[in-house]
Structure 1
Amino acid sequence: MHLVVVSGRSGSGKSTALHLLEDNGFYCIDNLPAGLLPELARQANNAGMDLPKVAISIDARNLPSDLQRFPDLLKQVRESGITCDVLFLAATDEVLIKRFSETRRKHPLTDHSLSLGEAIAAELKLLGPIIDLANLKVDTSHLNLYQLRDILKQRLLGSRGSAPSVLIQSFGFKRGIPVDADLVFDVRCLPNPYWKPELRPFSGRDKQICDYLNDQPDVQEMYQDILQFLQKWLPRYAAGERSYMTIAIGCTGGHHRSVYIAERLLNDLGARTENMLIRHRDLP
């Protein structure tokens, strides 16, 4: 059986994730009490049960004591022989406050003594034991509904070979570092095409930007350093049974240098690494 535990901050997209999994053949359970995880595993291992794919949502609506026990509960499930992925959906405090304000939904932890901002902060602390064990984290701060579904479909439902699913993501520091990044490379020290008026309208995928950056010695030196690092260490991450990994490449605006580096990495690493994806967070 393949079990996916879906967790995350309220307003981050858990319902979207569950609906996607349900549409793709998963038996889904929303807000399962975490203490029932081992029993679910036991039942699933019974010969009479035919549930090859199950997804459950565990979030801050659970008993705090059960959330604290989550590491031990997950260990029991995995020791029973069940393949289990833990997906955690995150977003910044500012984005979550905006989403709740726009939809006028009530946060599950708010009450007469706890404001929305305080509830969001308290929820993050409650979910700490799950965050620490999540093998796939997705930052939904800059994603719309359709982008979130596409990313989850690629990463959760794509090829399940022995190699980890690797996402190379370009971004701009002016909109913040992706909270789901495992490795972050800062390329803001490289020559910036933005300051060339004739190059400004293009992106790092366009020939004009590639030709400019290809002629910069510092760009080539840094690129080779990043490439060699990843060629050496990605196999070791895979050997450590890591299922998912996000490599973030950042420049100032996320349009030129980071996009160029990310595209080259995909081209050079993709030939030898299975399950490699790319996303340019801040491109229009």
Structure 2
Amino acid sequence: MRLILISGLSGSGKSVALRALEDAGYYCVDNLPATMLREAVAIYATYGYERIAISVDTRSSPSLGALPVEMQKLRERGIDVRLLFLESKTDTLVKRFSETRRRHPLSGSGLTVEECIRKEQELLESIRELGARLDTSELSANTLRSWVNDLVEADDNRLTIIFESFGFKHGVPLDADFVFDVRCLPNPYYDNTLRPLTGQDAPIAAYFAQYPMVDELLGDIRQFVAKWLPAFRQDNRSYLTVAIGCTGGQHRSVFIAEALARSFANEQVLLRHRQLSRDA
């Protein structure tokens, strides 16, 4: 049996993620207390369900502290348990609640939306590192569905390296373990013929080939990641997110992220382009 747990901040897209898993063939349950996980899984097993997705979040906050123990006990039963933790930047969440006019689940105590978000972040801090983190700020629903499917289909017995390009003007991704700033590299943006292109296009690669410093910086990042991969495996990490940032997230960061993904082709690699997904 495979069990995917969805948790994270209210407004970060947990419902979208759960629907994506339902479309992928998972039997989905929304808002189950952590203390009921083993009992629920046992019941679903009697009906032959082998792929289950369950949302566990602050709507059942008194039981959240039990989640790490419950996950371990399920694993001891031979169940493939994974946690996807969704989060977004505070201003993004405030905007989403304002646009949808929905109440925050913690708003009953008379707190403002921002105060509710901060309180929820504190409540969830202890489980934030239990699985794969996914910053959904500015992601479209389609992109989120695609990234969720990529994460759950990855082999959980191998460390997954996620190379992620982004633009600093949109903020640093919350899910990054390492952040490399490549804004020091020559910028194709200032060439009017190259500006509409992205780091995935051949003319951009030809542009960067003129500058030895591009290959030098790429080699330094590659060497750093390769050096520390064994330490992350030894720490039993399932995911390592390496974020590459330039100004707008269109040329330099995309090119470097693509090159790194090719360099680590023998590993289990996922490739994300935040701003390209956003613009699309």
Q: Do they superpose with TM above 0.5?
A: yes
Identity %: 47
C-alpha distance after superposition, 1:31-56 (max 9, x if no partner): 111111233355567xx452211111
Shift of 1:217: 2.1
Shift of 1:101: 0.7
2:209 paired with 1:214: yes
Which of 48, 58, 61 aligns to 2:59? It is 61
Q: Which amino acid aligns with 2:137?
A: S
2:105 paired with 1:117: no
Contact 1:41–1:82, Cα closer than 8 Å, also in 2 = no
Match of residue 181 from structure 1: 176
Partners in 2 of 1:164 and 1:227 — Cα distance? 16
Instruction: Rate the CA distance shift 1:256–1:60 in 2: closer, same or farther, 3 A.
Output: same
Contact 1:183–1:246, Cα closer than 8 Å, also in 2 = yes
2:256 paired with 1:261: yes
**Farther off after superposition, 201-210 or 219-228:** 201-210
Structure 1 vs Structure 2 CA RMSD: 2.1
Contact 2:179–2:244, Cα closer than 8 Å, also in 1 = yes
Instruction: Rate the CA distance shift 1:42–1:187 in 2: closer, same or farther, 3 A.
Output: same
C-alpha distance after superposition, 1:234-269 (max 9, x if no partner): 355345443333221111111121111111112222
Shift of 1:94: 0.6
Contact 1:31–1:56, Cα closer than 8 Å, also in 2 = yes
Partners in 2 of 1:175 and 1:63 — Cα distance? 31
Q: Which amino acid aligns with 1:273?
A: E
Shift of 1:231: 2.9
Contact 1:4–1:86, Cα closer than 8 Å, also in 2 = yes
Partners in 1 of 2:197 and 2:253 — Cα distance? 13
2:272 paired with 1:279: yes
Greater share of helix residues, 1 or 2? 2
C-alpha distance after superposition, 1:80-114 (max 9, x if no partner): 32211011111111111111111111111113621
Match of residue 97 from structure 2: 100
Instruction: Rate the CA distance shift 1:90–1:161 in 2: closer, same or farther, 3 A.
Output: closer
Contact 1:187–1:257, Cα closer than 8 Å, also in 2 = yes
Shift of 1:219: 1.4
Instruction: Rate the CA distance shift 1:206–1:182 in 2: closer, same or farther, 3 A.
Output: same
3-state SS of 1:127 partner: helix
Instruction: Rate the CA distance shift 1:51–1:8 in 2: closer, same or farther, 3 A.
Output: same
2:55 paired with 1:21: no
Partners in 2 of 1:83 and 1:240 — Cα distance? 19
Partners in 2 of 1:221 and 1:125 — Cα distance? 41
Aligned length in residues: 277
Structure 2 residues not aligned, in runs of 5+: none
C-alpha distance after superposition, 1:128-177 (max 9, x if no partner): 122131x2111111211111111111221x34374333321110111111
Partners in 1 of 2:109 and 2:81 — Cα distance? 38
Which of 131, 134, 138 aligns to 1:138? It is 134
Partners in 2 of 1:132 and 1:233 — Cα distance? 19
Shift of 1:3: 0.9
4+ residue runs over 4 A deviation: 41-45
3-state SS of 2:98 partner: helix
Match of residue 252 from structure 1: 247
C-alpha distance after superposition, 1:174-231 (max 9, x if no partner): 1111111122211122222333444333322223322222221221111111112223
Q: Which amino acid aligns with 2:209?
A: N
Contact 1:70–1:129, Cα closer than 8 Å, also in 2 = no
Partners in 2 of 1:189 and 1:249 — Cα distance? 12
Match of residue 84 from structure 1: 81
Contact 2:61–2:123, Cα closer than 8 Å, also in 1 = no
3-state SS of 1:122 partner: helix
3-state SS of 1:25 partner: coil
Contact 1:41–1:80, Cα closer than 8 Å, also in 2 = no
Within 5 Å, give how 1:26-65 maps onto structure 2.
Answer: 26-43=26-43, 48-64=46-62
3-state SS of 1:125 partner: helix
Match of residue 205 from structure 1: 200
Match of residue 74 from structure 1: 71
